[in-house]
Copies of this chain bind each other. A is one copy, B any other.
């Protein structure tokens, strides 16, 4: 099967770039002596998990119970569900625990911690630490940290933090500063808990940008980075990787032509309505148009409007694209996590135009 024969729109994953990205992150963490607990919320694929877990301890991070169930069914037995748990979800967690996988959950307040501790399945939890993002978690120096730990008791498995505000960083130095704040915060929380008599086996920190740019990962026991495996225009803009490191693209067909514009069959559903590059150094609209081989030969030909199934690309005036209706292009996404979620599978290529595998994704909840 060749790319040019695929029905469009669909998702293309270049295994050569994927492997390079995986190797780069593994190398970066090896220098710190810290293993990866890869965040599978971007890839949602056991085939990708197998590649990224090579040489790692084997645990993963997920963002939905659907992912937890999917990966557990495929033999992954150590799963961190890194979105704040609710008491109602504990039975679903326990069902997987009963089936041989351990799902570690995340809490940040006493009532939920008490519900976890009271559950007969013996579910373990991390306490989420807010190291500056202000989304979820208790602050490292707060009295609540010790209160939540008290409610968890023997169910306390450690601490985690996600410095999502690193995404606002625009230089290596700025992101490194956020990473160091993230590290200091989570390490401080771990130390306070140890001082209070708790074992804290897991100290989880890091997003793709902070994992790449961190100067130190001292006191950190694992890193849950994920989007770096695939990359996207936003991560390229903030320096997590190069633009040539984007492994996932959307294959689309030309369905109409106007002077200076191409109408494509990839719109807001196939690309997502994510506009994260709006605040990046360069705004890529809803995505950057590449050629069928994934090469950036069309300059700044960018999807400027995205309807449900129509994408309107404005052709870079310096690049005279002459493509007939039915011609295929690939589109690099703003935010791979969002774009990939509309697609149920990857068409895998190995740097070429031949589809060498089809890998399924575990979408939904």
Contact = CB atoms under 8 A, between A and B. Distances in A.
Interface of A: 5, 7-10, 41, 63-65, 83-89, 92, 108-109, 111-112, 134-136, 164, 253-258, 263, 265, 268-270, 272-275, 305, 307-310, 312, 324-326, 337-338, 341-344, 363-365
A140 to B, nearest CB: 16
B337 A308 contact: yes
A360 to B, nearest CB: 12
Nearest to A5: B88
Please state the number of chain copies in the assembly.
2
Q: Is the interface of A mostly helix, strand, loop or mixed?
A: loop
B325 A255 contact: no
A86 B325 contact: yes
A13 to B, nearest CB: 16
Contacts of A135: 256, 263, 305, 307, 310, 312
The 7 closest A-B pairs by CB, nearest first: A84-B255, A86-B326, A273-B273, A273-B274, A63-B309, A136-B256, A86-B253
A135 B307 CA distance: 10
A9 B265 CA distance: 29
A228 to B, nearest CB: 15
Contacts of A63: 308-309
A10 to B, nearest CB: 7
Nearest to A324: B111
B164 A307 contact: yes
